[in-house]
Amino acid sequence: MGNGVELSTSTFAKSPSTPADLALVFTGQGAQWPGMALELTLSNRVFAQSIRHMDKVLSLLPDGPSWTLMDELHKPKESSRLHEACISQPLCTAVQIALVDTLRATASIKPFAVIGHSSGEMAAAYACGKLTSNEAIAAAYYRGVVSSEVTKSGAMAAVLGMGRIDVTPFLRPGVGIACENSPSSVTISGDTHLVEAVLTQNWAAKPEALARLLKVDTAYHSHDMQEVGDRYLTLTSPHIDASKSTATSSPAMFSSVTGILLPTGWVADAHYWRSNLESPVLFNAPVTELIEAHKTHSSNHLVFLEVGPHSALAGPLRQILAQSSMNLSYASCLVRAKNATESFLAALGQLWQLGMEIDFNLLTNPEQTVNVVADMPSYPWHHDHSLLFSSRISDEWRYRRFPKHEILGTRVPESSLNEPVFRNMLSLDHVPWISDHNIKGDVIFPCAGYIGMAGEAARQLSTESFAGYSMRNIVIDMAMVLSANKATEVITSLRKEKLTDSLDSPWWDFTVTSFNGSTWMKHCSGQVKALEDKAQALKRPLRELPRDVNSGRWYQALRNVGANYGPCFQGLSDVTCSPTENVSAGTATHTIQNDSHYAIHPTKVDFFLQLFSVAAMKGISHKLNIMNVPTFIEALGLYDCDSEDCFWEGETGLDSEEGMALSLKGVKLGPLENDVAEEDIDPYAGARIFWQADINFLKISDLIEPHSQQETFSLTRDLTLSYIKEALRRLEGVQPVLPDVRDVNSNGIDLGLFGPLDVAMRVVLQHIGPIFRGETEPLEVLLPNGP
């Protein structure tokens, strides 16, 4: 904690092999945000004094502002006026000048070159001595004044993925390139409808390019700014002394107006700032020239520090440096929406890590008020009797033999050597390769990890030379599911196996458990002991196996059954197998670099275990229909393998250039909990069984069941036929009006079932005449009370 600011953990960095040269890059207008640099005005005396000084300069101008820089920096988002050009322009420049003053006074920063983007050149000119702070803030203030006086409405658009040459064919009169930010990023400016037309044409021709309108209503760096050029020149000239000279040791300035290094005798007069207002921003060219000039004149490491409200130029700088085949060393004084004091101190820390000379005495004691007392009398030390007391636990912790292991952790000092306990807070942030062991959407701690933990514990407990370790009766009880959001507490406990009441075995019984927030879960147990002898050569050489297995296709088959392995667990290549035996072989190259010791890295051991599935399926990927994981290993021998390239055979073991590296015996594989192969799924699980007599024991008569109402059907048929004949007799001479009525031949009547109820047919027969003449509806007859 510093000044109420909680600082994040610093990242470790190697000391640079060469010193660093610093180039200051000044952000242009547009990166401002409410609350920028607020914390620095409260915590840094130099920064606050610089802002107050510029407020005084502005107040003395004949047409100075009615507001103050300090007040605007302290305004919240709701009342901030940073969106107004007349305020944002001087405020951005003031923050940059105050940052330069703070870098000089509190860290003794001395850049070798400066470069500014657009209006950022004003603060850059101050940093290299071409302008005073009074001149720079006056020029920035009047730039904001005249920018707000532009009467013509315009627009600007950022185009990413296209450079100047790519964009030029799409331009038209009234639209030009306002900023050439990098080889693949430009900003166009001009009349609103013309800019929109260019974007539409650009999207149609280059859909892969990203183009968007900026939230401005003025076409900066275009012909529209010439409207206020004369007035800007008139307002600025009285406040800039063009006759002053600068020191020869001042930093060089690379201009984004001319695109080149400015000569030593260059004068930052009002005419230059008018050109800066009206001309396009050529940022790509001067940065490229700066890099080439540094390559020619210095062998030091080049570091860019962005001075402004936000790291807006980080992307363009990366794109320019990528074209120059240089690695980017970059830091930013401020970052949007982050505490300004924290960002500034973090930037100084980055510069120091990159090899910059930082005067931390100035930073921590800027007023030189803290002094060391150097004339105190000497103390009569007595060394014959030590008064320092240190407990055993403290000594074991401070003088421990082994550093923390990434998966085993460290030995708990309170545990004894007879029953040692290792504790670790296992976090995927510290062991990222485990994240690639993804099973059915969960990150599962691999079986090979338990083997590595037990083996490392045996190494640390060994008192003799260590050549490897042997394990037996390994039981994997329950999967350890790891979370990306929190660390998991893991305990590995060991105790000597007893041969008799007074004699111990060289074997250690081990157990790996974890705490899930409410209870302890046992994941793995077994026995382990350290080996002193080097591995022996394989009893038989690896043989050629006839079937080649495509490793990419095999990993896809594993994904289909739930093994969504990442790159760290997809290291098998040159996989072969036997089409008739359960034998497979493969090659892997160890690529994971870490500081923890492993006889063989767990990813390599996992590659070997993966070959069991290849051997079981004889290399036919579509036969793999279930995810099997190790549940028991009868015996395991693992030897320290220094060779990067190892050869694997799924039947016996792993071989390296030095001989046997890993051997397994009695491996049992089983499916994950609730995991069932497709071929084992019961397709009739939703059916019910009904017991009936066997058809072979039935008579034919039992198979044919007559209808229970057969006699009724016969009578109904005869009755219906009678009614039909009577109806035809009554209808002789009647002309039907219903459209669906056809002539019926009494000699060809189709005998069928027209209704089971005699009453219905009788009613219809009684009204057959009116129905056919259209005088009565059939439903009225059948339903006299209505439907």
* Tokens read off for 781: 């007859």
Map 620-637 to HEC letters.
Answer: CHHHCCCCEEEEEEEEEE
Q: Is the dihedral of CA 25, 26, 29, 32 positive or negative?
A: positive
Is 405 among the residues known to form the active site?
no
Rounded Cα distance between 284 and 163, Å, is 10
Rounded Cα distance between 89 and 273, Å, is 14
590, exposed or middle or buried, with CB in 10 Å at 0-12, 13-18, 19+? middle
Q: Listing from the earlier edge strand, what are the strands of the sheet with 481-482?
A: 438-439, 442-444, 481-482
Rounded Cα distance between 186 and 168, Å, is 10
Which entry of 239, 310, 437, 597 is annotated as an active-site residue? Answer: 437
Q: CB neighbours of 552 closer than 8 A, spacing ≥ 6?
A: none
Tell me if residue 302 falls in helix, strand or coil.
Answer: strand
Residue with tokens 């693949």: 184
Is 239 among the residues known to form the active site?
no
Which entry of 191, 606, 640, 655 is annotated as an active-site residue? Answer: 606
Residue of 600, 607, 603 lying closest to 662 (CA atoms): 600
Rg (CA), the chain: 44
Rounded Cα distance between 147 and 221, Å, is 11
At CB < 8 A and 24+ separation, what contacts does 210-217 make? 210/159, 210/160, 210/161, 211/157, 211/158, 211/159, 211/160, 212/157, 212/158, 213/155, 213/156, 213/157, 214/30, 214/155, 214/156, 214/157, 214/158, 214/187, 216/30, 216/155, 216/156, 217/153, 217/154, 217/155
Angle at 117 between CA 115 and CA 121, to 5 degrees: 60
Rounded Cα distance between 427 and 64, Å, is 58
Q: Which residues are catalytic?
A: 437, 606
